[in-house]
Amino acid sequence: MRKKRKHSPRKVSEKRHAARPDRKEARQEKSLERDVLTCLYRSEHAASQADIAAELKLDRGVHKELTMLLADLVAQKILQHGTKDRYSLGKQNNLATGFLEQHPRGFGFVTRLSVRDGGPTYNRDPSVEATHMGTARHGDTVLIRVYKVRQDGRPEAEVISVLERGSDRLAGFVSFEHNKVRITPEDPRFPFSVFLDGKIPEDVKEGDAVIVQLADFAEETANIRGKLIEVLGDPDSIDVQMRLVIEKFKLLHRFSDQAQEEAAQLPEEITETKGREDLREILHVTIDGETAKDFDDAVAVVKTKKGFRLYVSIADVSHFVRPGSALDKDAYERGTSIYFPGRVIPMLPEKISNNLCSLIPDQDRLAFTAILDFDRQGNTIGKRFVKSIIRSHQRFTYTTVRQILIDNNKEVRREHKAFLTPLKWAEELAIILQKVRKDRGAIGFTLPEPEIGLDENGRIKSIGRAERNFAHQLIEQFMLSANEAVAETFTENSVNALYRIHERPDPIKVQEFTGFAQTLGLHLPKHRQDPDWFGQVLDMVKNSPKEYVVNNLLLRTMQQARYDARNVGHFGLAATDYTHFTSPIRRYPDLLVHRALYAFISKSAKKKKNQSAEDLKEIGPFLSTRERLAVSAEREMNDRLKVRYMQDKIGESFDAVISGVSGFALFVELLELFVSGAVVIGELSDDYYNYDQKHHRLVGERSAKVYRIGDLVRVTLLDVDLRKNRINFTLAKE
């Protein structure tokens, strides 16, 4: 019995093509087919041929072609011909919509797939070849038709139409060609060039970064027209790089006129104290980094007969940003502040974030305070939450607190004599809380972070290891306690609110990790699906050369923490209840948590408009997406600056750790600079190396020399690629 041939977009009906071999006519037929499928996909009801022709505004001369096309699509069961001579999508239409993510080489994948009820489901994102892309480009919402599913489960599809353009603007670099100005897109996922229309400013130079507005294009082409809308300038400037990242990730960086107007109308000083608990005499202090500009949390610790009382006071952003206001809408759309070296894209205007809601020393400020009582073992024995008015009595930096508590610096201690006892109490409580969390299994990843220094011109001057001392841990323990206490209150009282959840790791990924660990010679304890097991693994490699790699790989087994209306606990913290309460200046979820908590403690949940469980089901995923976007943008910005920092260090050598091995390269991380790059296998000229995938290593064919993940090596910088943000090394000569 002969198998039925699957329909491919490369082939249309032989019946139609036998009569019309002309390529132009074939393209017209294909275009008509796509228009018809798009029309019927968009339509909520079956449509007659006349309806379709009217919707597509077809000339009468095309009606015969339409008749033949409809008959052919019905024969292929892509359409069905129903009663009253009407057409609708058939059971084998294989149509779906999604978001196009294009690769620099032209092909792409369609993510966030959506199919009609009763349509086929796919386990993997469909791929689209460059020749089947049509006029679609990266970021577009597209209608596709799957014409094949490969043996590995990957669907292959063609783009039928662009339902919505992702953006009509992009950033790129200027080059002059004869009498034309070419713009090469900065994002390589746009594999075309843009030629400018209109007058070009005389001061535009070769290589300048610019932003252009694209003309829509109806034909498939590698070159399109565009209009210059902004000249950014020298791409080596950090501010230009920031704008390029903003354009690449489509970040919101300008507040609406309405939001700016609302911010301008806010009072210049704090005057309202009605209905608030006066905590101005409590010895609150802020502890932040040297370069911090907004201080949204203040703490105080008092020793009691039973143990300790902890005050965690958070700037009361909800007092100034009301639900439904323009400020609220702008903040929600951003979701979070985004931090770049020396720069920030704030979630809220500066008047709020750096003034009214910044807990500046010796200034009255409105706050939302968690007052938590602990016994001497660190058990919570009481908690309450109040709207308050506070006054920060001192702005400390992490460095100063370290000098007082750890270094016992006599001069610094003498300068801050009034705070020595409260800081000692805070140290005692933090140590107890840290032990409680470790004993219950909280996972303590130790991944160092880079600290990028800038000069007065905004260019990167240094990269170093960001200091993390006990002062950081002290504040972290207090913030965790406040977040847990608020979440416990929500759970105990069935309050609709956003939780910060972290689900159990993927067992398959954990199994892969244990297999890899064996290749490193690690004898792991018998696996248990609880946080304590992960902590034991990290303790095994602490202060060893393998520490960085094992931390990194173990972290990859974890699921991403996210916001959700369901409380399933936080695996990494070994916490049954967790949320984000402590930073509403820079995280919108915290603002929602403040509103939900106040509605509960004021016993006015019915009177106040609060988020419903149904609303939170949509809000949680959206805000999680905004958070991931911010993390990606921050990482991208750091990578760009690192590449530029390294460009004048070609030929220099560095100590590194092998962080990955593939069939074509060793991937390395410089130990001191936190710069990553690759050593292409072709650069290993002393031997021919084979890739041992099972053991994650390269093995020399003659010498049997081995390079594996976790090995320390010495590398020499070979070159940098500013366009692709890539750094290439070779192994240093011994």
| DSSP string over 430-473 | HHHHHHHHHHHT--------EEEEE-TTS-EEEEEEPP--HHHH
Question: What is the torsional sign of CA 303, 308, 313, 314?
Answer: positive
Distance CA 688, CA 703 (A): 9
Are the C-beta atoms of residues 13 and 74 closer than 8 Å to each other?
no
Q: Splitting the chain (734 residues) into consecutive groups of 10 residues, what average pLDDT does each group show?
A: 44 46 68 92 89 90 89 91 89 91 92 84 92 92 94 93 91 90 91 87 92 78 84 91 94 96 93 88 95 90 97 97 97 97 94 95 96 97 97 96 96 96 98 96 85 83 86 96 98 96 92 84 84 90 84 90 96 96 97 96 60 84 96 94 93 93 92 91 90 87 90 94 90 84
Residues 6+ apart with CB under 8 A from 9: 30, 132, 145, 147, 158
Residues 632 and 654 grouped into a single domain: no
Residue 566 within a domain: no
Residues 434 and 532 grouped into a single domain: no
Q: Which two tokens stand for residue 29?
A: 């037929």
Distance CA 503, CA 573 (A): 11
- Please tell me the predicted confidence (pLDDT) of residue 54: 92
Among 117, 147, 164, where does a domain finish? 164
Residues 512 and 656 grouped into a single domain: no
φ/ψ of residue 614, rounded to 5: -65, -40
Residue 563 within a domain: no
Distance CA 549, CA 669 (A): 10
Expressed in percent and rounded to 5, the helix, strand and coil fractions of the chain are 35, 30, 40
Residue 5 within a domain: no
Residues 351 and 426 grouped into a single domain: yes
* 66: CATH: 1.10.10.10
Burial class (CB in 10 A: 0-12, 13-18, 19+), 403: buried
Residues 550 and 656 grouped into a single domain: no
Residues 6+ apart with CB under 8 A from 29: 12, 16, 20, 65, 69
* 210: CATH: 2.40.50.640
Residues 523 and 490 grouped into a single domain: no
Amino acid at 706: V
Distance CA 448, CA 551 (A): 10
Residues 455 and 364 grouped into a single domain: yes
Nearest to 42 by CA among 89, 94, 101, 79: 89
Phi-psi region of 58 (alpha: psi -120 to 50; beta: other; left: phi over 0): beta
Range of the domain at 18: 14-89
Residue 200 within a domain: yes
**What are the C-alpha distances in Å from 428 to residues 16, 403, 404, 434?**
84, 16, 14, 10
Residues 353 and 227 grouped into a single domain: no
Nearest to 488 by CA among 370, 408, 392: 370
* 705: CATH: 2.40.50.140
Residue 402 within a domain: yes
Nearest to 611 by CA among 593, 634, 584, 629: 593
Number of helical (H) and strand (E) elements in the chain, helices listed first: 18, 34
Residue 517 CA to chain centroid, in angstroms? 28
Helix (H) or strand (E) holding 707: strand 706-708
Burial class (CB in 10 A: 0-12, 13-18, 19+), 516: buried
pTM tops 0.85: yes
Are the C-beta atoms of residues 236 and 311 closer than 8 Å to each other?
no
Are the C-beta atoms of residues 124 and 109 closer than 8 Å to each other?
no
Residue 101 within a domain: yes
Residues 314 and 351 grouped into a single domain: yes
Nearest to 589 by CA among 556, 620, 629: 620
| DSSP string over 472-498 | HHHHHHHHHHHHHHHHHHHHHTT----
By DSSP bridging, strand 127-128 and strand 562-564 are unpaired
Among 110, 135, 164, where does a domain finish? 164
Based on the structure, what is the number of domains in the chain?
Answer: 6
Are the C-beta atoms of residues 688 and 700 closer than 8 Å to each other?
yes
Residues 107 and 224 grouped into a single domain: no
Measure the CA dihedral 623/627/633/638, to 10°: 170
Distance CA 183, CA 151 (A): 40
Distance CA 638, CA 642 (A): 6
Residue 565 within a domain: no
Helix (H) or strand (E) holding 587: none
- Please tell me the predicted confidence (pLDDT) of residue 365: 96
Residue 100 within a domain: yes
Among 600, 615, 636, where does a domain finish? 636
Residues 284 and 217 grouped into a single domain: no
Residues 462 and 610 grouped into a single domain: yes
- Please tell me the predicted confidence (pLDDT) of residue 23: 63
